[in-house]
Each structure stands twice: as structure tokens, then as C-alpha cells.
Amino acid sequence: MLLVIDAGNTNIVFAVHDGTEWRGTWRLATSAQRTSDEYGVWLQALLTRIGVEIDQIDRAVIGTVVPAALYHLRRLCREWFSVEPLVARAPLDWGFEIRTDNPEAVGADRLLNALAAHHYYRGPLVVVDFGTATTFDVVDRDGAYLGGAISPGINLSIEALHQAAARLPRIGIGRPHVVIGRDTVPAMQSGIYWGYIGLIEGLLARIEVEYGEKLKAIATGGLAPLFAEGTTKFRAIAPDLTLDGLRLLSERNKAPPLPRDRARFMDSD
């Protein structure tokens, strides 16, 4: 079985794939201070609930945009599952070209989204990922990654609005039924939600003009279903696109060897 770890700025997603389907998916708040043993105890209990033993995990893959979290996640794989994780980085075999000025600077999550999106939907397309940042990533007809755009994520914008304006409260995100809010909170909810819809539609239109032809728009991330309700621009909603990208990347690349002195639960022979 494959252990997949997607470490973002806000949450870390752990998932297990048995070669046919996802057996379980769990989220944990990202913390660079959380140790490998804390991850291990927590994850072992969750695996037990779905009938999976630690020694059934024989591969692992990590994608992260939080370098400080990588150390403990790598130790988790080595010491609790006795596997050396494949870490998603630009020099791996992605199966496509990374046509940017500095390929190694591209976030792993953006490349993983491109890999999975082209696999399932075929380019040319653009992936819109609603995460800590809202990213727009363009994939060519042959699957090549061309770059894209990065804007502040929805929750980041809500928090910034609250902190910068003394009289504006912290609000939750939802889809308002009207644009003209008749009180402060409805007005803020309208500005955030419909403002982001305008951002999405405007950037998608400009990307298509620059690219020169129609692009399929694929939405991913936890808030993708919510924003897809407010626009007709999306061809598909794929909340687990990054996890699928990690699984596909692990299938394309050989698992690194595990240093024997790093495994906690390996047999003594």
C-alpha cells in the first residue's frame, strides 16, 4: 500500500491507496513543530480503524510546500513505516516538460495538480487550486507545465480584511444570494465571495486570450465546490487532485532505498 502525504501551508493530508482505491484520507493542521512520533501515534490509530497495519505500507510519497515540515515527515516514513519516501521535486520524472524560467522554484503542489489534471482531463487546461493561495496553473496540449498566476487565498483575504480594518469583524465564507449586502457582514461576504468569482472569471478569460485557445478549467482544493456554485467556467471539480498527482508521481519514479540504520521497526536480520 502507498502512504501519500500532502503538506500544505494550512493542512497536511495523509491518505492510503491500496493500488485500486483510496482506503482513507485524513487532515491535520500544519505545524513545523509536530514530531514524527506525534504523527506516528495519530496515524497508527487511524489506520487501525480502517483495518490497515503499519507493515502493509510499503511505499510513501511526500509533496510539501513547507520545507520545515519535511524533516519530521521523512522521519515518520522511515521510523514508523520502514520506507524511504519519494519527495516530489522538479528533477524527478514527471512525464512532461516544465517550461518555466526556473523549474525548481515551482511549488510541488502546482506540478502535482498539472500531472493529475492532464492524466484525467487532457490539456490544454488550467487548474484553479483553492488553497492558502489561489493558484492558476496552465497545462499545454502535450501535458507540459507552462506556469500561471498566484493570488491570495480566500481565508487569507478574510483574515487580512479583519486585521487591517478595526471595525470589520472576522467572517465565515459562504455564497451570498445577493450582491448588495444590507449590513456590514453581508456586504463583506458579498465582496469576498463575488469578488473572488470576478477574480476567477477575469483571470481565466485573460489566460485564454494569452494562450490563444479555449482551455478546460479544473477546480481543486477544499473550497472548490463552493466557488464552482457561483460560476459556469469550471469543466470539472476534483478536490483530491494533488493526492492523485502524488500517487501518479510515485508510479513513475522508483522508490528511494531505505538506510537500514534509520528504520525503527525493521526485523533485526
Q: What is the grid cell recorded at 99?
A: 517550461
Query: Strand runs (DSSP E) across 119-243, as ranges?
Result: 125-130, 133-139, 145-152, 216-220, 236-237
CA 151 – CA 179 distance, rounded (Å): 22
Task: Clarify whether 109 is annotated catalytic.
Answer: yes
The number of residues in the chain equals 269
Q: What is the grid cell recorded at 227?
A: 466557488
Q: Is 121 exposed, middle or buried (0-12, 13-18, 19+ CB in 10 A)?
A: middle
Task: Report in angstroms the alpha-carbon separations of 229 from 1, 27, 42, 184.
Answer: 35, 24, 35, 23
CA 171 – CA 68 distance, rounded (Å): 30
Task: Report in angstroms the alpha-carbon separations of 4 from 12, 86, 248.
Answer: 10, 10, 11
CA 136 – CA 151 distance, rounded (Å): 8
* 37, 101, 109, 137: the active-site residue: 109
Indicate which residues carry an active-site annotation: 109
